[in-house]
Chains A and B, each alone.
Chain A
Amino acid sequence: MAGDIYNRTIAELGKLLRNRETTPTELTRMYLERLDSVARRYNAVVTITEERALREAANAEAELAAGYDRGPLHGIPWGAKDLLAVEGYPTTWGAVPYRDQTFDADATVVRKLRDAGAVLVAKLGMVELAGGMGYKQPNASLTGPGITPWQAEESPSWSGGSSSGSGSAVAAGAVGFAIGSETWGSIVTPSAFCGITGLRPTYGRVSRHGAMALSWTLDKLGPMCRSAEDCGLVLDAIAGHDPADPTSSQRDYAWPPATLRTSGFRFGVLSDATAGVQPEVRANFEASLAVLEEIGTVEVVSLPDLPYNDVASVIIQGELASAFEELMTSGDVRELTAPEDRVNGLAALALPAHVYIRALRVRRLIGRAMDELTAWYDALVAPTLPTVASPIDQPFDRYFDRSNRSPLGAAANVAGLPGVAVPNGVGERGLPTSLTLVGRAWGENDVLAAARAYQARTHWHTRFPL
């Protein structure tokens, strides 16, 4: 049982539980051991929540035995990025100044997953303060640099950030699924570098209550899993309005949808999607397009000419300056792990208000332009990132040019659009590459259905690094 259980999807684990081939407690003990013996190697773990996990597993076991089934997540072990408040455990935000911080209530997402019967086994590593201070190399967390489980012995490489532990713990089979957060790239990047499937929901789809705020108008919480199907199942459990987060939407969400499409999709491919990408990334993307053509139409499109990256940067800088003003003005910022994080954010304290407001005004133009474009397609597609993961001991700019990052990521985050990253091949040094599908606002089920159809025709999401 133990040998191959760690690469099972949520549906497969649920089947094992309901067939009584294992129990929630047995499953939980296996994952707890795996977190300690394997995931720690990748600096993926902040706190193992053993006492809570065994209590929740016992509850799930009793309920399932009594015929009370809470649904597909019932009895499934999961991990939370350590910016989610969990009662009774530290919530460190990945940062030394907050290493002893505690909250007296669970974040809404944590509560919703508990209500769905999922078993919280760990709080997972992350880049300090979700990367808002401008880290430039992997060693920017109180738990050490995040390492992808792929080629970890031969060529240790970065897990991606800021949801680094969520990415590597899922990839290593140390949790059934994880929750990450994205302000600008923090779900899709570790999903790509760790070879897993990650969903950035539409802004407002999931309550942010109880999550660390980096940027109130850009932060999103979302699932990081072994398949698009799993992402839908988790989103179904965590989506919905929360009075404690006024920005959370009243719109209904359900997975699976009443009609689950498997073909007939319309894809838009960015005209410059492969400009400046590594050769393997390009080849894998072109192979992905061939698969997408089996399930839909593919047209070349261009993003409207707007300053996406600048708007994203200014909004984040303006909001983080307020969110972390006390940390910076007190000097406690000097306790952060990455030397650059101790200084990079300070300039934001003098960002003029009119510049921030202008960014918000241009954001509205971007929202309308992106809606006009995405209205024609189920998904815009592009390589998630131009490269595979960088070597663990190198500054990012020695391996890839950040100024070369695709404007699609900034456009999607600024406009609050959903996107899914799925593994689509092997690149340099045997590391995973990734395909991203970006949809219209509230179109999670369009991108997930397309990603699911893609994964039904490919095997990349079933590969396992260990």
Chain B
Amino acid sequence: MSTDHQAGQPQPDERLVEAFASAAEASIGYELDDEARQIVRETVKRHQTMAMKLRAAPLANADEPDFAFVPYRAEG
């Protein structure tokens, strides 16, 4: 994590942003132009910023995700 000195807000690690932006582009079967590539990069950066905010919420190991898995058994 780096720091944006102007805004005083922590900023996502640029290496992570580059890595996830590259992974997103590699996931699709076609080439992006420079403008689209920049949008993907900015969106990844927003995702990383959101992830940092989520990490600030206090969670213990026992705090489970809010979904329940229900084992399946067909009727009859």
Interface residues of A (CB under 8 A from B): 134, 217, 246, 306-307, 310-311, 313-314, 317, 328-331, 334, 340, 342-344, 346-352, 355, 357-365, 367
Contacts and interface: CB of A to CB of B under 8 A. Distances in A.
Contacts of A358: 51, 54-55, 59
A349 B26 CA distance: 10
Given A329-B29, A349-B24, A310 B59 contact: no
In this complex, the interface size class of chain B, counting residues with CB under 8 Å from chain A, is 20 to 34
Nearest to A342: B36
A336 B28 CA distance: 16
A347 B51 contact: no
Contacts of B20: 347, 350-352
A362 B59 contact: yes
A329 B25 CA distance: 9
Contacts of B55: 358
A306 to B, nearest CB: 6
Contacts of B4: none
A101 to B, nearest CB: 22
B40 A346 contact: yes
A145 to B, nearest CB: 21
A364 B64 CA distance: 8
Give the secondary structure class of B's interface: helix
Contacts of A364: 63-66
Given A307-B53, A346-B25, A361-B65, 13 more contacts: A246-B70, A310-B50, A314-B54, A331-B29, A331-B30, A343-B39, A344-B39, A347-B21, A347-B40, A350-B21, A350-B23, A351-B20, A364-B64
Contact of A347 (B47, B56, B64): B47
A344 B67 CA distance: 27
Given A310-B53, A314-B47, A361 B63 contact: yes
B43 interface: yes
A198 B70 CA distance: 33
Contact of A346 (B24, B59, B65): B24
A52 to B, nearest CB: 33
Nearest to A313: B50
A365 B29 contact: no
B64 to A, nearest CB: 7
B47 A361 contact: no
24 contacts: A134-B43, A310-B50, A310-B54, A317-B47, A329-B28, A331-B29, A334-B30, A343-B32, A343-B39, A346-B25, A346-B27, A346-B36, A347-B24, A347-B40, A349-B24, A350-B27, A351-B47, A355-B51, A358-B54, A360-B65, A361-B59, A364-B65, A365-B63, A367-B66
B44 A362 contact: no
Most buried by B among A134, A347, A348, A360: A347
B25 A217 contact: no
Interface in B48-62: 50-51, 53-59
Contacts of A217: 67
A311 B54 contact: yes
Nearest to A333: B28
Nearest to A363: B66
Contacts of A359: 54
